[in-house]
Amino acid sequence: MATMPLKNTMIDNTVEDPRQRAPLVLGNHDFTTVTETICRIPEASRPPQAWYIAFAVSSTLTLMLGCMVVYLISTGVGVWNLNNPVGWGWDITNFVFWVGIGHAGTLISAILFLFRQKWRTSINRFAEAMTIFAVVCAGIFPGIHVGRVWLAYWLAPIPNQMQMWPNFRSPLLWDVFAVSTYATVSLLFWYMGMIPDLATLRDRARTKIRQFAYGLLALGWRGSNRQWLRYERAYLLLAALATPLVLSVHSVVSFDFAVSQLPGWHTTIFPPYFVAGAIFSGFAMVVTLMVPAREFFGLKELVTPRHLENMAKIMLATGCMVGYAYSIEFFTAWYSGNVYERFIFMARAMGPYSWAYWTMVCCNILTPQLFWFKKCRTNPWILFAASIFINIGMWFERFVIIVSSLATDFLPGSWGAYAPSWVEICTFIGSFGLFFTLFLLFVRFLPMMAMAEVKSVMPQALHKQGEHQGLGDYWGDMPRGHEHKPGGHDVHH
Amino acid sequence: MSTTDHALPLAEPARQSWGLLAEYLTVPELLAAAEKVRNAGYRRWDCHTPFPVHGLNDAMGLKPTILPWLVLGAGITGGSIGMGLQWFTNAFDYPFIIGGKPFFSVPACIPVAFELTILFAAVTALLGMLVLNNLPEWYHALFRSKQFRRATADRFFISIEAIDPLYSPEATREFLKLTGSSHVELIEEEAD
Amino acid sequence: MHQAPPINMELEAQPLGALAHKVSILAGIVGLAGLGIAVGLSKMGEGASERFYHAYLVSFCFFLSLSLGALFFVILQYLTRSGWSVVVRRVAEVTASNVLLLAVLAVPVMLGANHLYEWTVTNRVMEDDLLQWKEPFLNLRFFLLRLAIYFVVWVGLSRFYLGHSTRQDRQTDPRLTLRLQRWSGPAMLLYAMTVTFAAFDLLMSLDPHWYSTIFGVYFFSGAVVGFFAWQAVVLLLLQKAGRLQQAVTAEHYHDTGKLVFAFVVFWAYIAFSQYLLIWYANIPEETVWYLRRQNGNWALVSIVLLVGHFFLPFFALMSRHPKRRRMMLAVGAVWVLLMHWVDHFWLVMPEFAADGVVPLGLMELACFVGLGGCFVAGVSWGFRNRAVAPIGDPRLPESLAFENV
């Protein structure tokens, strides 16, 4: 294999010229070098030192999560500060937070695929992995908050000792179906996308163990075009199925709140508003992970400033949608003339949890406004910082929705207050440990980018000159001199 | 697998030829060659590429797959099971009133029925793709070729199987060379 | 695939000229006749003038939504730097600019406000606490001011986009595209807020007690469905008139069809979200809105809407084949447009038909034909001196060569 010629031929692909599409792969890359760039990360005999440090920290936190879960289950949910009326606190906040983050992966893989956004190829694998790990973290919280987790199978429609069936009219049960379907389909999508790349790793493997492990997972893929035909069709079908699925999952999560009669929860805009917020937070998490990853693993030519800029634009768009929902909710609280609605929105802004409310507004509404400026969209570290603020803001959004509405509902006599216990805080921090542990294992052992897909948007993948104009948006383009030799074949009949 | 005998030396009875593998360096070369192979009338042949090549299905003359129909069928099945399950459990087998809703509340049934539609369809999309593609197939004669390992990285290949009626060890090899292949290789496999 | 022969865009996109002139005059006459009949009917019998305003509002909102859907599409294409859509974008630009005509046609809605909106009637407001509470927002003066603002924004935006795009036909200056792209973000924000509040004002406040935060999105989703169906029909008619016969291919129809399909699903998603949440929570002040639509014959209309606006187009447009066959797509598009009108009928009329009677007759038809004639005349007029596709757009070659993978 050729060694990786890392040339600093970085041209600015964020310059906008409507006459041509900006290149999506920078540098003098061809198929060989792209393969090399991506494969050498999992193939390295040992990862960079930073990886070990990060892994040590994150696995320690995971251990803490494990201890907290054991402590909770062995002692009872009383170790959390939940009370009456605040029966949902950090547990469900964390659940919605993680599930929301888990929406970007499938959005990028499915929706951007249907919209022919070719730039997605550099980030989709990464985002899909993030999705699955976020959904794993999300699944923990409702799993453990039920109290008697050993009876969790009551959620499934299987005969049990009560001789009763689950209540399908409950949105909480819809959630079980939605989240488990989402986890399954995301996993399928991720795995299917990875099959050709696993085959690449198999064919490059030098040790028996790697050959066996990657070979097993690659299922004997041999790049046959008869197989590609069905593979591509299956991918398109999965994308078409995953698109409404993404919308449905966070809509169902929003139903958990919105079907109730509680002021601040019961409002019809919740489903699309939650979906927009989920995509917003998911993209923020992709940026949080991608900015350091492209730095440390030398992927700047594949995850170019244009990719970052596009992600920033999506965050701006979804951030504005979230802002739209906030303002429509606020307006309607007044317009409805309903005193309870009005009260809860005033309480959010000026009541006991106003600090959380204003944190949310600043992080979610003001931060993305930075992205009106190109400087902020293209500077990786500004993006990185902004994405962290957005993550914080989106966590607080769920906290505000859940806790403020529960704490101060209709009757002042039944109001209450809630602050988390140390167990809840440690459990939440521990979930980050789990998330990052899984993520670090992913970047260590699996192809971080969809090699096959990146290759398919390179100019060398086109079979006639100038064809890139015909293939929709963001068909990669390259600086002159890197196109394949003009073949002069007319391959058409 | 039945094969025609290709006058291999009798000293190596354990091997028989599987077919020929031709290598191409670029996408246009592959596409041009694929058209020629198709026009020559070969049936048992295939292209191998590191990524799906646009236009190759046309060049090879491949027919569309039935996968979408399978997925549609699975989706309808999943949706029906979702509806049926909710009707059976909550309205028929053990009816009980919750929140003043009817036993069989269609609006409340939509989310679960929808999720099961997607679940069934998505699982079918993946499994159907694998079954139709005859995967997993961990052993394949082509894996014996060292050069073929680049089929998943940066090279393009056409393989023609020995069981193709038009196959002839010499003529097919010459033919593949004429299509612009940089390297043609005989692939052997162990005899049954 | 085929080696595309060079397309003479000058010829393909030639302005419609005399033809447009003829169509405009003809459609204008039909439109005025329709409105004339409607006005005539409004003088006959008791309650006829109320019914005129109700029927007028239905069709007014219907045609307004087509223009607003078009405006969304135009802004979105620049926001996403879209390439495939260039050759079909002029249809949207012209349709969106027709909002100027609709601003004029809004006058009867303004004049008839006291027949349409309970909260404009002083006596009603006096005896209703909620209407008094809402009075700072729901009062005639502010309502008219808001309508004026919406139309100024929409006319401004649509003229801005159409004007620049038309200028580009001759100048072929890519900087014009850049300029339009740069303003597409703020334009979209303005669009979102104005369309939402217009939906609140024109439609939601028909029942001033009722509220739904998703209502603006609901109106928007229907508008986009309606526009894409309209776009398919207009493209076909343009091709019938000998324009864009090579430039617009099955690929563009396929994408238009996909967008109809996608937004039909989106509309259903939004409609279901609103319905489910209100049905489930079962709060009387909210459910009353749906009760009216389940009362008597309105239940039938609701079912027609559910089946006709979602299930039929969903299954009809799922496969790629009907989207690529012009006649099939045309049939689907006309059907979707019809259902989109039913949607507006369903939004407006039950508010005035508490007894469950569905008032569907000559008045509704006359208003539809009247406004429709005017609308068609306006769109056709837009193609009179203007190329029917943005021939100077730098992304035109990409659009011409576009293929669905």
Rounded Cα distance between A160 and A165, Å, is 8
In a domain, B9, yes or no: no
Rounded Cα distance between A352 and A355, Å, is 8
Residues B76 and B128 in one domain: yes
Structure tokens at A384: 């990185």
User: pLDDT tens digit string along B18-61?
Assistant: 999 999 999 999 999 999 999 999 999 999 999 999 889 989 98
Q: Where residue B174 sits, what CATH number does that domain have?
A: 3.30.70
Residue A478 has pLDDT above 90, yes or no: no
Rounded Cα distance between A265 and A96, Å, is 14
Residue A464 has pLDDT above 70, yes or no: no
Task: Name the nearest CA neighbour of B121 among B66, B64, B65, B77.
Answer: B77
Task: Name the nearest CA neighbour of C189 among C201, C197, C200.
Answer: C197
**Given CB atoms, is C123 within the 8 Å cutoff of chain B?**
no
Position with higher pLDDT, A467 vs C81: C81
Residues B71 and B57 in one domain: no
Count how many residues are written for chain C. 405
Position with higher pLDDT, B20 vs A28: B20
Rounded Cα distance between C125 and A5, Å, is 77
Cβ-contact A143, A156 below 8 angstroms: no
Residues B127 and B71 in one domain: yes
Residue B188 bridge partners (DSSP): B17
DSSP state of C208: T
Write out the residues of chain B at the interface with chain C, using a CB-CB cutoff of 8 A.
54-55, 58, 72, 99-101, 107-108, 110
**Given CB atoms, is C397 within the 8 Å cutoff of chain A?**
yes
Percent of chain A residues topping a pLDDT of 70: 92
User: Could you identify the residue written with the tokens 């409805």?
Assistant: A336
Alpha helices in A336-450 (DSSP H): 339-350, 354-361, 367-369, 374-378, 380-399, 405-407, 422-445
Which residue is closest to C276 within chain B, CA to CA? B107
Residue A228 has pLDDT above 80, yes or no: yes
Q: Average pLDDT in the A268-276 region?
A: 96
Query: What confidence tier does B12 reach under pLDDT thresholds 50, 70, 90?
Result: low
Structure tokens at A199: 């085959």
Structure tokens at A236: 């398109």
B150 to chain C nearest CA, in Å? 26
Rounded Cα distance between B122 and B120, Å, is 6
CB atoms within 10 A of CB C378: 25
Structure tokens at C4: 């595309």
Interchain contact, B140 vs A192, CB within 8 Å: no
Question: Strand B183-190 and strand B45-48: pairing?
Answer: unpaired
Task: Tell me what pLDDT residue A468 has.
Answer: 40
List the domain range (segments joined by +) for residue B19. Answer: 15-63+152-190
Q: What is the amino acid identity at position A345?
A: F
Residue C120 has pLDDT above 60, yes or no: yes
End-to-end CA distance of chain C: 11
Structure tokens at C32: 């005025």
Task: Tell me what pLDDT residue A12 has.
Answer: 83
Alpha helices in C211-319 (DSSP H): 215-240, 250-281, 284-292, 298-306, 312-316
Domain ranges of chain C: 9-400
Residue B155 has pLDDT above 70, yes or no: yes
Q: Enumerate the residues of chain B whose CB falls inside 8 A of the CB of residue C320.
A: none
Residue C271 has pLDDT above 70, yes or no: yes
Residue B15 bridge partners (DSSP): B190
Name the phi and psi angles at A116, rounded to 5.
Answer: 55, 40
Q: What is the amino acid identity at position B100?
A: G
Residues B125 and B78 in one domain: yes
Residues B121 and B78 in one domain: yes
Query: What confidence tier does A232 reach under pLDDT thresholds 50, 70, 90?
Result: very high
CB atoms within 10 A of CB B59: 25
Residue A472 has pLDDT above 50, yes or no: no
**Given CB atoms, is A268 within the 8 Å cutoff of chain B?**
no
In a domain, B141, yes or no: no
Interchain contact, C137 vs A473, CB within 8 Å: no
Option in C1, C276, C405 nearest B107 (CB)? C276
Interchain contact, C276 vs B58, CB within 8 Å: no
Greatest CA separation for chain C: 73
Task: Tell me what pLDDT residue A488 has.
Answer: 34
* DSSP code string of A305-337: HHHHHHHHHHHHHHHHHHHHHHHHHHHHHHHT-
Query: What 3-state DSSP class applies to C353?
Result: coil
Q: Is the peptide bond before A85 cis (omega within 30 degrees of 0)?
A: yes
Task: Tell me what pLDDT residue A10 has.
Answer: 57
Mean pLDDT, chain A, whole residue set:
88
Q: What is the amino acid identity at position A346?
A: M
Interchain contact, B107 vs C280, CB within 8 Å: yes
Cβ-contact A14, A22 below 8 angstroms: yes
Residues B59 and B108 in one domain: no
Residue C322 has pLDDT above 60, yes or no: yes
Least confident among B67-81, C269-283, C352-366, C385-399 = C352-366
Name the phi and psi angles at A277, rounded to 5.
Answer: -65, -35
User: pLDDT tens digit string along A115-126?
Assistant: 988 899 999 998
Rounded Cα distance between C194 and C157, Å, is 12
Residue A144 has pLDDT above 70, yes or no: yes
In a domain, B140, yes or no: no
Task: Tell me what pLDDT residue A493 has.
Answer: 33
Which positions ≥6 away from A483 have C-beta within 8 Å?
Answer: A459, A460, A465
Rounded Cα distance between C373 and C379, Å, is 10
Rounded Cα distance between C154 and C96, Å, is 8
Task: Tell me what pLDDT residue C10 has.
Answer: 87
C278 to chain A nearest CA, in Å? 7
Count how many residues are written for chain B. 192
**Given CB atoms, is C276 within the 8 Å cutoff of chain B?**
yes
Task: Tell me what pLDDT residue A463 has.
Answer: 62
- Provide Rg for chain B, Cα atoms: 25
Greatest CA separation for chain A: 83
Question: Residues 307 to 336 of A: which have CB under 8 A from any C CB?
Answer: 316, 320, 324-325, 328-329, 332, 335-336
Rounded Cα distance between C215 and C213, Å, is 6
Query: What 3-state DSSP class applies to C322?
Result: helix
Residue B8 has pLDDT above 70, yes or no: no
Domains identified in chain B, total number = 2
A215 to chain C nearest CA, in Å? 30
* Sheet-wide strand order for B156-161: B45-48, B156-161, B15-24, B183-190
Alpha helices in chain B (DSSP H): 27-40, 56-60, 67-87, 106-132, 169-178
Residues B57 and B72 in one domain: no
Task: Name the nearest CA neighbour of C79 among C156, C163, C160, C177.
Answer: C177
Cβ-contact B57, B35 below 8 angstroms: no
Which positions ≥6 away from C241 have C-beta within 8 Å?
Answer: C16, C19
In a domain, B28, yes or no: yes
User: pLDDT tens digit string along A281-332?
Assistant: 999 999 999 999 998 888 988 999 999 999 999 999 999 999 999 999 999 9
Cβ-contact C260, C214 below 8 angstroms: no
**Given CB atoms, is C214 within the 8 Å cutoff of chain A?**
yes
Report pTM.
0.93
User: Could you identify the residue written with the tokens 């990052």?
Assistant: A436
Q: Enumerate the residues of chain A whose CB falls inside 8 A of the CB of residue C182.
A: none
Q: What is the amino acid identity at position C143?
A: F
Residue B189 bridge partners (DSSP): B16
**Given CB atoms, is C269 within the 8 Å cutoff of chain A?**
yes
Name the phi and psi angles at C365, rounded to 5.
Answer: -65, -45
Query: What confidence tier does B6 reach under pLDDT thresholds 50, 70, 90?
Result: low
Query: What confidence tier does A48 reach under pLDDT thresholds 50, 70, 90?
Result: confident
Residue C399 has pLDDT above 70, yes or no: yes
Residues B73 and B125 in one domain: yes
User: pLDDT tens digit string along C220-248?
Assistant: 999 999 999 999 999 999 999 999 999 99
Q: Enumerate the residues of chain C whose CB falls inside 8 A of the CB of residue B107.
A: 272, 275-276, 279-280
Mean pLDDT, chain C, whole residue set:
94
Rounded Cα distance between C234 and C248, Å, is 12
* DSSP code string of A148-178: -GGGGGGGSSS--TT-----TTSHHHHHHHH
Q: How many alpha carbons lie under 13 Å from residue B57 in its C-beta half-sphere? A: 17
What burial class does residue A317 get, using C-beta atoms within 10 Å of its C-beta: 0-12 exposed, 13-18 middle, 19+ buried?
A: buried
